[in-house]
Amino acid sequence: MAGQRDAVASALASQGLYPQNFTVLKRSLDARRSPAVCEMVIGLEVDSVPVEHGDWKNVSKGRPVIVVGAGSAGLFCALRLIELGLRPIVLERGKPVRERRRDLVRLIREGKVDPDSNYCFGEGGAGTYSDGKLYTRSKKRGSWKKVLGWFVEHGADPEILVDTHPHIGTNKLPAIIEAMRARILACGGEVHFGVRVSGILRDEKGRATGVQAGEETYTARSVILAMGHGARDVFRWMSEEGFPLERKAFALGVRIEHPQSWVDARQYRLERNQAASEEGLPPAAYSLVARSGEAGVFSFCMCPGGVIAPCATEDGEVVTNGWSPSRRNNPWANSGIVTTVELEDLDARGFRGPLGAMEFQRTVERACHAAAGGGQKAPAQRLTDFMKGTPSTSLPGCSYLGGLTPVNLKEILPPFIHERLVEGIRAFDRKMPGYIHRDAIVVAPESRTSSPVRMPRDKETFELIGVPGVHPCGEGAGYAGGIVSAAVDGMRVAEAVAAQVMASDS
């Protein structure tokens, strides 16, 4: 950053400008040029980047609102409720964020999955230990700037307010999540761990009165469902109890990992003896899209300098995801490479009903688990062999620590998925020559890209259709696709609940 400030000061001086102070308000890297160019928007005589702080109230005597889930949607929903004068009661099935680490270590070393504490479940949700990228296309749905501001207010680097593609990093998120929990408690809210919600309580008119969690009950006239997209047990009991659920299209595929040095060289057009770090460039990323017939094939959650992680939520399945530390300094770059599974695809294979997409997803995860040999070993293949449909006899180095088994993924993945991926990757290789790299590895499956279920809700009140007092939100409900979009949706639902409370009190 110091070098960038010196360069900016020099550029301003060349224009006859000598401000006493200036601040970088926006920064992006244009890698289409050679050499790559860092583009910045500068505020002259500005001390710092504006931060949107919260208006934190004492809500210890406020109207209670139950928030099921302490992921991005649930935490930001709870914080927004506090701003609006309501008292959030956050119920999280998993453990506090730092206690989750022991379960993640056991998952990797022993291959054992705690169904309530893993990469998806626990304080902070899936985003805490799966990268912390703060990208979103949902900038028209709510105050994404407030989301970034609250992250900074609770300990994130203010640089996230500046970068076009902000990123916190898995190593830094736990402390931020703990600060958010402390904020909720200090304002009079509640946060309960180890509470798995198993039902919704309703009165004789069908309106929510609280939730059931084993032998315990929690009461409130408003219940916000903010669990993540891996909460299959919730989807099941909701379906069994007749709550309205809809099957939803989602994307499924694999994780592909390349040497980061190759991605750097290709994206920055570096010479053989050049390294991105020596040129003052960050680890490079890529974003690729192609068509396979009528279906799309695209990169998803690309992690420069990252790690492929085991993200199953129960034994007997394998799920992969990717994350990066804040410095993005690992020697590999991985990305989900996925294709959309449409309702027509599910119909053609007999996966109907509101949970049909979820069951298809689960079938693929269990097939991969069986092929890899158990535990959290994942089936893997050299990318060159994947393209030819031949089994791999050896595998290159890989960041995945759960263990790999060389296989022929053509025999494991659903044929239509494999065919679309192969066609899409061929197109990627034309767009990014050399993508089908001899040291690239394919690890399967990347299956939790988004929720396979949607909870239909009213456009004004955000209530679950036909169930007053229940408000679905975030990724699990089918209305978000990442940390920021989930946070924004949680805040919008909080505002809808507050509007209802005000109307009922008037």
Checking if the pLDDT of 340 tops 70, the result is: yes
Long-range pairs for 282-291: beta carbons < 8 A, 24 or more residues apart = 282/29, 282/328, 283/328, 283/329, 283/333, 284/31, 284/260, 284/333, 285/165, 285/333, 286/335, 286/432, 288/428, 288/431, 288/432, 288/435, 290/423, 290/424, 290/427, 290/428, 290/431, 291/424, 291/427
Q: What percent of the chain has pLDDT over 70?
A: 92
| C-alpha closest to that of 151 among 288, 251, 54, 250 | 54
**DSSP per position, 338-372:** EEEE-HHHHHHTT--STTHHHHHHHHHHHHHHHHH
Residue with the bigger pLDDT between 39 and 338: it is 338
Find the mean pLDDT for residues 10-23. Answer: 70
Checking if the pLDDT of 462 tops 60, the result is: yes
34: pLDDT confidence band, cut at 50, 70 and 90? Answer: low
C-alpha to C-alpha distance for 153 and 176, rounded to whole angstroms: 9
Kindly report, residue by residue over 45-63, the tens digit of the pLDDT: 566 677 889 999 999 999 9
Checking if the pLDDT of 243 tops 60, the result is: yes
Kindly report, residue by residue over 313-332, the tens digit of the pLDDT: 999 999 999 988 888 889 99
Checking if the pLDDT of 274 tops 90, the result is: no
Residue with the bigger pLDDT between 345 and 143: it is 345
Q: Which domains does the chain have, with CATH numbers?
A: 2-44 (no CATH), 64-244+453-505 (3.50.50.60), 250-446 (no CATH)
Alpha helices in 247-350 (DSSP H): 260-268, 343-348
What is the identity of the amino acid at 236? R
Q: CB neighbours (10 Å) of residue 410? A: 17
Q: What percent of the chain has pLDDT over 90?
A: 75
Q: Crossing angle for the helix pair 144-153 and 483-505, nearest 10 degrees?
A: 100
Cα–Cα distance list, 109 to 103, 254, 342, 394 (Å)? 10, 22, 36, 22
CA dihedral for 390, 393, 394, 400, sign (positive or negative): positive
Task: Give pLDDT, residue 273.
Answer: 76
Checking if the pLDDT of 91 tops 60, the result is: yes
Element (H, E) at 224: strand 223-225
| Six-digit token string for 350 | 């007999």
Checking if the pLDDT of 491 tops 90, the result is: yes
Alpha helices in 15-166 (DSSP H): 72-83, 100-110, 125-128, 144-153
C-alpha to C-alpha distance for 396 and 379, rounded to whole angstroms: 13
Question: Which DSSP symbol is given to 463?
Answer: P
Which three-class secondary structure state does DSSP give residue 323?
strand
Checking if the pLDDT of 506 tops 80, the result is: no
Find the mean pLDDT for residues 126-140. Answer: 67
Find the mean pLDDT for residues 349-366. Answer: 98
Residue with the bigger pLDDT between 29 and 91: it is 91
Task: Give pLDDT, residue 469.
Answer: 97
Element (H, E) at 209: strand 208-213
Kindly report, residue by residue over 192-221, the tens digit of the pLDDT: 999 999 999 999 999 999 999 999 999 999
Do 248 and 254 touch, CB atoms closer than 8 A? no
22: pLDDT confidence band, cut at 50, 70 and 90? Answer: low
Task: Give pLDDT, residue 412.
Answer: 98
Task: Give pLDDT, residue 35.
Answer: 67
Task: Give pLDDT, residue 167.
Answer: 83
List strand residue ranges (DSSP E) for 372-498, in order: 378-382, 404-406, 441-446, 453-454, 470-472
Q: Crossing angle for the helix pair 144-153 and 72-83, nearest 10 degrees?
A: 90
Kindly report, residue by residue over 366-420, the tens digit of the pLDDT: 999 999 999 999 999 999 999 999 999 899 999 999 999 999 999 999 999 999 9
Kindly report, residue by residue over 248-257, the tens digit of the pLDDT: 999 999 999 9
Do 55 and 470 touch, CB atoms closer than 8 A? no
C-alpha to C-alpha distance for 255 and 447, rounded to whole angstroms: 10
Checking if the pLDDT of 140 tops 80, the result is: no
Kindly report, residue by residue over 148-164, the tens digit of the pLDDT: 999 999 999 888 888 88
Task: Give pLDDT, residue 26.
Answer: 75
Spatial CB neighbours of 335, under 8 Å, sequence gap ≥ 6: 255, 256, 286, 299, 300, 301, 302, 303, 322
Find the mean pLDDT for residues 26-51. Answer: 70
Checking if the pLDDT of 2 tops 60, the result is: no
**φ, ψ at 204 (rounded to 5°):** -65, -20
Do 113 and 58 touch, CB atoms closer than 8 A? no
Task: Give pLDDT, residue 220.
Answer: 97
Residue with tokens 């993508």: 435
Find the mean pLDDT for residues 14-22. Answer: 69
Could you tell me the pTM of the whole model?
A: 0.92
Lowest mean pLDDT among 16-25, 104-113, 488-497: 16-25
Kindly report, residue by residue over 418-453, the tens digit of the pLDDT: 999 999 999 999 999 999 999 999 999 999 999 999
Relative to beta strand 199-202, strand 404-406 is unpaired
Checking if the pLDDT of 19 tops 90, the result is: no
Checking if the pLDDT of 105 tops 60, the result is: yes
